[in-house]
Structure 1
Amino acid sequence: MPQESESQVTAKRRARPSERAAARLGAVQALYQMDLAGTDVGETLAQFSSRAAGEDFEAGQCGEADYRHLREVVDGVVREQTAIDPVVDKILDPVWPLHRLDSTVRAILRAGAYELMFMDKVPARVAISEYVDVADAFFDKDEPRFVNGVLDKLARQRRANEFA
């Protein structure tokens, strides 16, 4: 049996998102579900824990999620939403506050803002890049650039030392 080259192994790793990337996608899906269906955090996380334990998100498009990270982001957004929303609103155009945005965009911005504001061990550029990737998974127009702009501005305000 032929052995795979290092470049083939690397390409396979790139083709399948990391556990953290899967957790971020799952967190956005959970926040979206809670926002639209009005489900509580415990019920929603219980549904996602079974997915993290082996089922793939979106019919095999995403690898196994880091459930601890997913839970930390979802719980954190719920706990800190009153701190997150005003910070994000200050970045947005006053005509388009957070509550007027598409529910998926709102979930992406809240999750990304939570990581940037409260999870200092996550590099800002990594959080921004991965939430832009999440936006790319849902949208094919301007939304990923919009998410990038908002999260980049937030990161430069909150973590200027990472951009020096």
Structure 2
Amino acid sequence: MSDLSAEDRRLLKRRMKSAARLYAVQALFQMEAMGQGVDRVRVEFEDHRFGMVTEEGAFAEGDVDLFRSILNQAVDNQVMVDRATDAALVARWPLGRIDPTLRAVFRAAGAELITKTVPPKVVITEYVEVARAFFPEGKEGGFVNGVLDHMTHAIRPEGF
């Protein structure tokens, strides 16, 4: 990485952070769907998914520290994040009725909003892109944008 230009290093770091967010959503989904604990899933992702090469191509390298932080914060603050998500949803659509992938998106994004280390607009943009990766043909990206906007105003009103 040292032989890369400053701009290339910046872009690589950004891609690694985006990949970490995508992996965190996948891991949170897997934890819920399979009833697995955070430590087991974290190890699986770090050992077998980050940078994995298959016949279809290579998986991206992810920012391991960001991945771990998102998972830990999402687990440690799940009740608070879920309440903030519920409050941002229309009353007839409680979190339990939302697609499990979207629940994972909201939990990962909520974890980053709580830590206050990333500007809220960056969090929203990144997770809208994650949603679009999972639902490229649907309206989920716009839905995620709206819910995260409401969550951000509740969790980090100073961010606007």
Instruction: Report sequence identity in percent.
Output: 38
Establish whether residue 134 from structure 1 lines up as the match of residue 130 from structure 2: yes
For residue 123 of structure 1, the aligned residue among 101, 108, 119 is 119
Establish whether residue 65 from structure 1 lines up as the match of residue 62 from structure 2: yes
Alpha-carbon contact 2:120-2:159 (below 8 Å) kept: yes
Alpha-carbon contact 2:84-2:155 (below 8 Å) kept: no
The CA distance in 2 between the partners of 1:102 and 1:25, in whole Å, is 16
- TM-score for the superposition, normalised by structure 2: 0.84
Deviation at 1:51, TM superposition (A): 4.1
SS in 2 for 1:18: helix
The residue that corresponds to 1:48 in the other structure is 45
Specify every segment of 5 or more residues in structure 2 that has no aligned partner in the other structure, as ranges. none
Give the counterpart letter for 2:40 in structure 1.
Answer: E
Deviation at 1:45, TM superposition (A): 0.5
1:1-164 equivalence runs, <5 A: 13=11, 18-51=15-48, 54-55=51-52, 59-60=57-58, 63-116=60-113, 118-139=114-135, 140-163=137-160
Distance 1:137 1:124, change over 3 A: same
Give the counterpart letter for 2:82 in structure 1.
Answer: D
Alpha-carbon contact 1:34-1:40 (below 8 Å) kept: yes
The CA distance in 2 between the partners of 1:66 and 1:52, in whole Å, is 12
Deviation at 1:86, TM superposition (A): 1.1
The CA distance in 1 between the partners of 2:69 and 2:53, in whole Å, is 19
The CA distance in 1 between the partners of 2:156 and 2:64, in whole Å, is 26
The Cα RMSD (Å) is 2.4
Distance 1:120 1:104, change over 3 A: same
Deviation at 1:19, TM superposition (A): 0.8
After the TM superposition, which segments of 4 or more aligned residues of structure 1 sit over 6 Å from their partners?
none
Deviation at 1:64, TM superposition (A): 0.7
Specify every segment of 5 or more residues in structure 1 that has no aligned partner in the other structure, as ranges. 1-5
